[in-house]
């Protein structure tokens, strides 16, 4: 027998999520749709390359002003 095995234990969080999913079976599909809307995007490689090439390197200390050449 595994020392860490707890087959009869279900946490409150797991029980809540299981109950929520049983009450609202459409919830998981709605979550997938929301993820697809916000995160699962096709990235254009050319645009990403151009954005990386246009990036300006940040100064080591952001709030320090550059000395004027005048």
**Model pLDDT for residues 6-49, shown as the tens digit of each residue:** 778 889 999 999 999 999 999 999 999 999 998 888 889 999 99
Under the banding of pLDDT at 50, 70 and 90, the label for residue 63 is confident
Q: What is the pLDDT of residue 4?
A: 72
Task: Tell me which of 28 and 1 has the higher pLDDT.
Answer: 28
Q: Alpha-carbon torsion 7, 12, 17, 19, what sign?
A: positive
Any alpha helices (H) in the chain, and if so which ranges? Answer: 12-23, 27-38, 45-53
Q: What is the pLDDT of residue 1?
A: 57
Please state, in angstroms and rounded to a whole number, the distance separating the CA atoms of residues 5 and 11: 14
* pTM exceeds 0.85, yes or no: no
Q: What is the pLDDT of residue 5?
A: 72
């Amino acid at each position: 027998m595994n020392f860490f095995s707890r087959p009869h234990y279900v946490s409150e969080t797991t029980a809540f999520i299981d109950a929520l999913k049983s009450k609202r079976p459409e919830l998981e599909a709605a979550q997938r749709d929301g993820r697809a809307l916000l995160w699962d995007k096709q990235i254009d490689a050319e645009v990403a390359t151009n954005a990386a090439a246009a990036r300006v390197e940040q100064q080591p200390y952001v709030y320090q002003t550059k000395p004027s050449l005048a």
